[in-house]
Structure 1
Amino acid sequence: MSSKADAAKAAESSGGSALGEIRALLDGLIAAHHQAVQTERLRAFREMAGEVAHDFNNTLSGILARAQLLLADVQDPDVRRSLRMIEQVALEGAWVVRRFQDFSRTRPARPFQSLDINQLVEEIAASARSRWNQQIAARGLSGEIRCETGPVPAVAGDMAELRQVLTSMALNALDAMPEGGNLTFRTGYEDGRVFCQVIDTGIGMSEQVRLRVFDPFFTTKREKGKGFGLSGAYAIVDRHGGEITVESEVGKGTAFTVWLPPESPVAEPVPASAPARVAAPAPAAAPAAAPAPATRSGAKILVVDDSEEVREVLRELLSRHGYTVVTVPDGESALVELGTRTFDLAMVDLGLPGISGLEVASRLKERWPGTHVALMTGYGDRMGPEDALAKGVDFVLSKPFSLDQLRSVVDHALTLDKTSRS
């Protein structure tokens, strides 16, 4: 009798153990499925964001350039005030587009360097601690910020970007503790990867929110933010070859974990600077008035862009300063023009229909090596300076560019041309 009872208990125990293993396996499969769906959704959005950013940059290029051209001509103070507002809105729009491009970017903006993740965490914790202590003291609450760093190998990464990731997570954690609480930074090394956790004891989030927390534009803070913080963090970590996971329970808190691969034993050398002939000016505050490019008598410029507005505004700007300007809408037409006359500078859009801007630049340099090429791009970082130089590109202008930035590139190109001819 006893043996039968023992057998029954053993069977029950074995069955319970098997059921537990099945449940754990199912939980793992569900989590993996959610991660795969999220990764695919964000991948698709990143591709779309890149295309949308390109189209918006073309539009903003026309708006910004027109406003700056009018500012150079108009003296009426009321009209100038309105033009300044248009200019400022265009620049703000350019900033939003750059956020899109940051999210859609798949390659690092700068060469990675060897980083001590513990040092970075301690710096961010110190900054957050100062802010948190002021907040809880003003509201009579309690809480603290702790650092629990473990021994970890160096990681290869972009210090500014990883700082942005961890700072964004820390600020979200502090916002999630309106009644005070504890924030813990924890680092370690597990399964061949470095991890950094940001753990709060705040309000937590529902499962529905947790599954969408990295979605672009998704935010639970309606009064502030555009929902780019955590989605941007996700994109940055992905560019670093890592991943972000999140665990949360309503009323108990949330834990974000950033996983990063350790630095390769053989680190790639970091170049001291980009090639000297490639300039990549970023959109900046516009000049007070459109300064005139330094005209070189007889200089001929070819503008190749599928946006009629961009073509026309560049024609107007460059023509009024004495240049001979020819505009065409595509690569095929550009090659025809190049075969009939000589140009000192070709300004070519990257995203041309048919023959791409890079292909135009490459063919142009093969046949007319004396013609300088400025590549105009609304795609952000689709190509680094080294790649551009290898394709025959001398300068890179990121749309939307100011008239001052345009002048800088034209001046430099014509100066190089004059020097090479003398």
Structure 2
Amino acid sequence: MRAIRERTGVRTDAVVVGAVVVLVVVAAVVGRRLLAAGVDIFLGWPPLLAEWLPHVGPGTPAAVVVAVATVAWGPGLAARLRWGPLLRAGFAAAFAWTVSLALVDGWQRGVVERLTSGEEYLHDVPRVAELGGVGPMLRVFADHILTTAVDPAQTWFWTTHVGGHPPGAFLVFTVLDRIGLGSGGAAGVVVMAVGSSAAVAVAVTLRALGHEDLARRVLPFSVLFPGAVWVGVSADGLFAGWLAWGVALLAIAAARKSTVVAVGAGAVLGYALYLSYGLVLGALFPLAVLVATRRWRLLVPALAGVAVVVAGFTAAGFWWGTGYADVKVIYAASIAATRPYGFFVWANLAAVAFALGPATVAALSRVRALPRAAGLLVGAAVAAILLADLSGMSKAEVERIWLPFAVWATLACGALPRPRAWLLAQAVVALAVNHLLLTVW
């Protein structure tokens, strides 16, 4: 009976992955036809924001070595190592994977230039000093979100990524500049380090929820996360790491019944709201933790932590609601205006499939085999992705925008048999994307 169930499960995995492959192919064909028809969807290689450019780089040998080592020894080491050394090894491997993938495009193009272009955060950092410092900048931040395209009276406006996000993200890069890490290379390394740490945060969360065995099975998949292609280097990778640690802290608070840790978790999660407007959907993950643990009394101190952050930004002169309203205005007048909702509402799912990889896609059909807490977190990831998709505020580029949600979907991989085969599939997808395409942001 067990053999029959396993064969049925394998067939289901194949059907699910096959269906997603068909979805990707259809998205590519329809996207090409839209471009041929003169519809400017601003995608060089639909459904991804990328260009066809087969290439190798200095990161190629390292990426292959990390992939082979993780596939060959990752599951065994994850099962045997003591917890502390395992987390350190997991972070080192995830960081090496992300950096090596970025370096496939070379140090300059793959790392330095990703955060220094005219659309990025570091471009606007000098404006903070021009405005008189962080305080004055926060007071006028919302005044310069709208572009001249929607407000002809505007004298100047923030670059695309600065104005398109709350000021918390911009503050991170401003602080990095103040402490001597404001170059594209240094900031890029920081972004990759924080993004890679999401693998550890997910494992810490699972252990705090009482599922260390599952955490050990999942960690190699978190290491070879195909979305690492976009973690290195985009600020969305940093957002993914930040949100993941907020959820991990809340899980620790629940395990220890600690009000103090819950306040800290709330503060981290509250700051996530000021990294990206879309991270309001990140509330589904701490909610999943509270539902799983039934530690509802921690909701009050956690909300208190959130409130402190919200109060701080509001007192400094930035109101989240005003910023979001302005961003909706410029989004409607941006390239999103020519990106048809009817196409992207399903093509987005094809794009995010590249970040999830075939293992996660297949594993989503096995969620019922997971412990309840893990199933809730995977469900939160799927719900966040679907809600973001239906909102119409993410038409394309979701392979990076939805990284903060995608890292949690990887939990489902803990239910897969034959982990080495699936890890190999994950690595092949990431290596193929990074070597055949030139990705953006």
TM range, smaller chain: under 0.3
Structure index of larger Rg: 1
Larger relative contact order (Cα-Cα within 8 Å, sequence gap ≥ 6): 2
> Which protein has the bigger strand share?
1
Which structure: greater helix fraction? 2
TM-score where L is the length of structure 2: 0.25
